[in-house]
Amino acid sequence: MSENVTTKVDGKVGRITLTRPKALHSLTLDMCEAMTAALLEWCSDDAVAAVIIEHQPDTRGFCAGGDVALLRNSAIEDGGQRGREFFHAEYRLNHLLFTYPKPTVVFMDGVTMGGGVGISQPCDFRVATENTKFAMPEGAIGLFPDVGAGWYLPRLPGEVGKFLALTGARLDGAECLWAGLATHYIPSDRLAETKAQIVVDPASLERYLVMHAESAPEARLAGNREKIDRLFAGETLEEIEAALAADDSEWAAKELKAVTTKCPVTAKVALRQFAENAHCATFADNMAMEYRIAARMIMRPDFAEGVRAVLVDKDNAPQWSPATAEGVTQDMVDAVFSPLPEGEEWTPVKCAN
């Protein structure tokens, strides 16, 4: 159980509600375990027809990510053991949602970043609102786009996934709908009624979502699609940086700064992650790959330095090592992706038949 998440059956709907508002509902180990336990219980409960994932009403943000402070402390204090335990549990939750046999709907009303992406993207129905702020900003702290991002981002239109991974760009609800990260756009003042109707009649879940959805504003991302596809087409970080530097537009200069201020190792790991995902036959294969990456990345000095710069000292001036794309060698990246020792690989948890 966790004091930071409530799980209950409401009518014929299982409801998972994040209740950690002071931390923007960022995920802890006990939250992941509590959500997984509820989902496993509801799998075999005929009284549960669908699942809603939401955050506590009248609080900011859906889910801002994972408990980064815990991960940093673990890397410093216990050789990353607690960090690996967290990732193992979080990725099991992500995979369980991805393979869940009953309809799932998530309400991404507010900040949806990192771990929030991990519990929203596997859901069958993903509702964005005018408050949605979606991003994978891990490059700013020397981590990497995880929680299934290696599966989701390469499947976005054109080079949009690469753009999000390398820049940490924040998308609004309209952009999420355009990119396919959301399935519906519903104004936040209609969410309570939408949820209430789903609870009464979960068999008509999709009809209620359509009923309350409205046309989203024009997606700014759509207007930048040509530039994104052209300038982020390179296979290597050096090629992408060179393309951005050679373009004299204000947009390219802004995005070049976004790319080059992020951790270079993170950026190269993300690009390799995209390439490796093509060899992943299942989502479980992808999560096993990401777990290997996570186990290595939290132990690299860049992670402790990134968290220091962004969350501890808040000077936003991390000193990356290496500091440039050219300094990141193939051997460094290979080491991050190499198999873990026997008995330490990630394994999924599944619903009982």
Phi-psi map region of 120: left, alpha, beta (phi>0 left; psi -120 to 50 alpha):
alpha
Closest CA to 149 of 119, 105, 172, 175: 119
What is the pLDDT, as a whole number, of residue 329? Answer: 97
What is the rounded distance in angstroms from the CA atom of residue 170 to the CA atom of residue 149? 15
What is the rounded distance in angstroms from the CA atom of residue 88 to the CA atom of residue 294? 10
* Model confidence pTM above 0.85: yes
What is the pLDDT, as a whole number, of residue 58? Answer: 84
Closest CA to 15 of 6, 24, 23: 6
What is the pLDDT, as a whole number, of residue 353? Answer: 64
The residues assigned a catalytic role are: 66, 115, 138, 146
CATH of domain 5-223+260-337: 3.90.226.10
User: Strand pairing of 104-108 and 125-128?
Assistant: parallel
What is the average pLDDT value for the chain, to the nearest integer? 96
Q: Where are the alpha helices (DSSP H) in 54-180?
A: 68-77, 81-98, 115-120, 149-152, 160-167, 173-179
What is the pLDDT, as a whole number, of residue 1? Answer: 66
Q: Of all helices (H) and strands (E), which one includes residue 200?
A: helix 191-200
Contact 138, 146 (CB under 8 A): yes
pLDDT below 70 — which residues of the chain? Answer: 1, 353
Rounded to a whole number of angstroms, the distance between the first and last alpha carbons of the chain is 24
What is the pLDDT, as a whole number, of residue 235? Answer: 96
What is the rounded distance in angstroms from the CA atom of residue 132 to the CA atom of residue 49? 27
Rg for the chain (alpha carbons), in Å? Answer: 20
Q: In this predicted model, what pLDDT tens digit does every residue of 264-318 receive, in sequence order? A: 999 999 999 999 999 999 999 999 999 999 999 999 999 999 999 998 999 999 9
Contact 283, 346 (CB under 8 A): no
Map residue 329 onto helix, strand or coil: coil
